[in-house]
């Protein structure tokens, strides 16, 4: 019986050790201080920002009025966003949080894009917004989200928001990252500096140079 118990104990210890070393069950270490307000003037050599000296931290470091009013949506897409990431809201530093307000004109679209460093939780404040995302297997998930309803977009997946209501729409996008990043495929193809090689674009879209040039002309100035 003792031998059996000893063998079982060894198995449990091996399993516990394996779980402790598995990346999927690890978590961030607990913070070593109450806060780390970003010193935006410091040179950034690694991810994030260094902390301001605690003696220089003030109430307004933990406050932002960026979401109070919406920006103009007078542009070809009928959309504009106000972002409260760590670079605009220093108190977010090291907290793994950020938020964006997006305003959509009637028929406006937030074109397909992705956030490589954060999942997104959409809360519609006004209007009706179709939110959709695509997976690595090209499956589309979408839903018309109304006032006070939520929709979540997993990290890194391409997604869009389209105003399908009769009036203006407003939604908040909350992220589990202080700087979730933004990748817009259309701009990454047609508005790069220097320009993407024409041969790459014609072969990618199965178009002639005239067609690609016409497409690129629509993104001048973005």
Residue stretches of the annotated binding site for Mn(2+)? 113, 115, 120, 159
Which amino acids are annotated as binding site, given as ranges? 110, 113, 115, 120, 159
- Residues 142 and 132: beta-carbon distance below 8 Å: yes
Sign for the pseudo-dihedral over CA of 30, 117, 154, 107: positive
In whole angstroms, what is the distance from residue 81 CA to residue 101 CA? 5
Which amino acids are annotated as binding site for oxalate, given as ranges? 110, 115, 120
């Amino acid at each position: 019986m003792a031998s059996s118990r000893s063998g079982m104990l060894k198995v449990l210890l091996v399993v516990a050790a394996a779980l402790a070393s598995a990346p999927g069950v690890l978590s961030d270490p607990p913070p070593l201080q109450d806060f780390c307000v970003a010193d935006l003037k410091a040179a950034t050599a690694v991810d994030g920002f260094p902390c301001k000296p605690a003696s220089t931290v003030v109430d307004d470091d933990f406050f932002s009025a960026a979401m109070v009013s919406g920006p103009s949506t007078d542009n070809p897409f009928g959309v504009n966003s106000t972002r409260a990431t760590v670079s605009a809201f220093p108190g977010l530093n090291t907290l793994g949080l950020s938020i964006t307000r997006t305003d959509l004109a009637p028929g406006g679209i937030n074109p397909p894009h992705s956030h490589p460093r954060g999942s997104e939780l959409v809360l519609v404040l006004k209007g009706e917004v179709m939110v959709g995302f695509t997976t690595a297997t090209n499956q589309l998930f979408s839903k018309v989200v109304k006032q006070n309803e939520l929709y979540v977009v997993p990290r890194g997946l391409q997604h869009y928001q389209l105003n399908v209501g009769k009036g203006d729409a407003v939604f908040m996008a909350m992220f589990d990252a202080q700087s979730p990043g933004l990748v817009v495929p259309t701009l990454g193809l047609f508005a790069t500096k220097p320009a993407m090689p024409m041969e790459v674009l014609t072969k990618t879209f199965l178009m002639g140079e005239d067609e690609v040039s016409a497409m690129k002309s629509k993104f001048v100035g973005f």
